Chains A and B, each alone.
Chain A
């Protein structure tokens, strides 16, 4: 499943590296997301602390917003010098799921304050890109997207000069295969992939908090381009009654939903099946039993005049009506 890193679409088409907005605390996120063309992914990296270039570092990776029907999935990395490895614990980094939103934002602000020691980066993966990937002719799954994002964020940090020595990764899938894969990509690093890594390794918790705070704020600051659309969409999780109601109330007969929705998620698909006009996608014409001739062909009368291949290839046919 994770044998190779497949290309989604050309790199330059999907990633916007934010340069205008500098995120120094949680309050900067509103303007960060207002400037986001939410149809494509967005990557942000904090300034690289000088100490992280000079000393060997540990780097944690985690994601937020894997399950919801609405909004982006966010991948986050955080890194610190090995000499400072207790700093995340001091800042209160723990399993982001047991912390309240307010606690997470406080810790996020602390991480931003310690910018001389901790660095972080995120990739905000657009719901549109998620749907596009899953609906490709050759499906690019959520696992493929996750893997690609985690690897690219790490590569970006290394490219920008972070002296990475150890890699800690949270995973929902089988850790062994993922670990082997990462080890191959980063042979010089110590690689540890574990389930619930964000509750075991503080640096993964730090990454998890960055991802989760960005995910929450992306949803809060969503700019609809589809006209006046209600923002009462709740948490975005399909079991949230607000999200459910919002999905029902915001169906467009033809286009389906505003692009905050992951169209490929089954709750969204089910609603469109019942409440929107059905769509028949053009299929590539099946070549009919090429090279195979039925014996009956020789006994029947002269066949119908066959259209020339020129016209068949171009879908051209003669008609006398509209």
Chain B
């Protein structure tokens, strides 16, 4: 393990429990990163192919599903997604009406999905997260509420521009 993978500066903002914005500053990026030490405890394994063919379709649900397993999204959810006016999508989950909107991952950022096979119960233990795919955009769903610019998630994207201004080095 070499030091060049340790970020000089790290900023993580939590959007939701499962979605996080991470900004990292590193001296130089090696041509091929195998792993990336996010901080003392977390090691991100990047060896997986990050190119287009690993792209995944993501739905950010307005609820917590108390369980962790694969879901029949393509048969139970995707066929019912309907595009409406003004970029609004509709669907249902467990009978509840959902209104959704697509958000493109802003430039300069990359949507990456990590999976952790075994989460340690004890704190301060080294954790390994593995890349399983990437996403160029995702759909966020509101429960019975049309998506607007004021939704927490859409508004959170403002932070990206502000962070850019706040943390960029003066040229």
Binding site for B on A (CB under 8 A): 9-10, 13, 39-40, 128, 131-132, 134-137, 225-227, 252-256, 258-259, 262-264, 272, 277-282, 313-322
Contact = CB atoms under 8 A, between A and B. Distances in A.
B82 A39 contact: yes
B69 A253 contact: yes
B96 A281 contact: yes
Interface string B78-93: 0110101100001011
Q: Interface residues of B toward A: which range?
A: 35 or more
A54 B109 CA distance: 68
14 contacts: A13-B82, A128-B95, A132-B92, A225-B80, A227-B75, A254-B72, A262-B95, A263-B94, A263-B96, A278-B66, A279-B66, A282-B143, A314-B159, A322-B129
A9 B97 contact: yes
Given A226-B72, A314-B159, A280 B95 contact: no
Nearest to A130: B95
A5 B14 CA distance: 42
Contacts of B159: 314, 316
B71 interface: yes
A262 B94 CA distance: 9
Given A256-B94, A282-B63, A319 B14 contact: yes
Contacts of A277: 65-67
A316 B14 contact: yes
Given A13-B90, A314-B155, A319-B20, A254 B97 contact: no
B64 A279 contact: yes
A82 B152 CA distance: 59
Chain A CB within 10 Å, residue with most, of B94, B116, B127, B152: B94
B159 to A, nearest CB: 6
Contacts of A253: 67, 69, 71
A307 to B, nearest CB: 12
Q: DSSP class of A's interface residues: helix, strand, loop or mixed? A: loop
Contacts, number: 131
A151 to B, nearest CB: 22
A229 to B, nearest CB: 9
Q: DSSP class of B's interface residues: helix, strand, loop or mixed? A: mixed
Contacts of A281: 62-63, 96, 143
Contact of B75 (A10, A226, A263, A321): A226
Interface string B8-28: 001111111000100000000
Interface in B110-132: 114, 116, 127, 129
A320 B123 CA distance: 13
Contacts of B33: none
> Shortest 8 CB-CB distances between A and B: which pairs?
A263-B95, A131-B95, A255-B76, A277-B67, A132-B97, A314-B156, A315-B152, A280-B64
A132 B119 CA distance: 37
B164 interface: no
A123 to B, nearest CB: 19
A135 B96 contact: yes
Contacts of B90: 9, 13
B42 A321 contact: yes
B158 A314 contact: yes
Chain B CB within 10 Å, residue with most, of A40, A137, A252, A281: A281
A308 to B, nearest CB: 11
Contact of A259 (B11, B85, B92): B92
Chain A CB within 10 Å, residue with most, of B10, B63, B97, B158: B97
Contact of A314 (B41, B42, B152): B152
Given A132-B97, A225-B80, A319-B14, A137 B72 contact: no
A313 B151 CA distance: 9
Contact of B72 (A134, A227, A282): A227
Given A225-B75, A253-B69, A315 B16 contact: yes
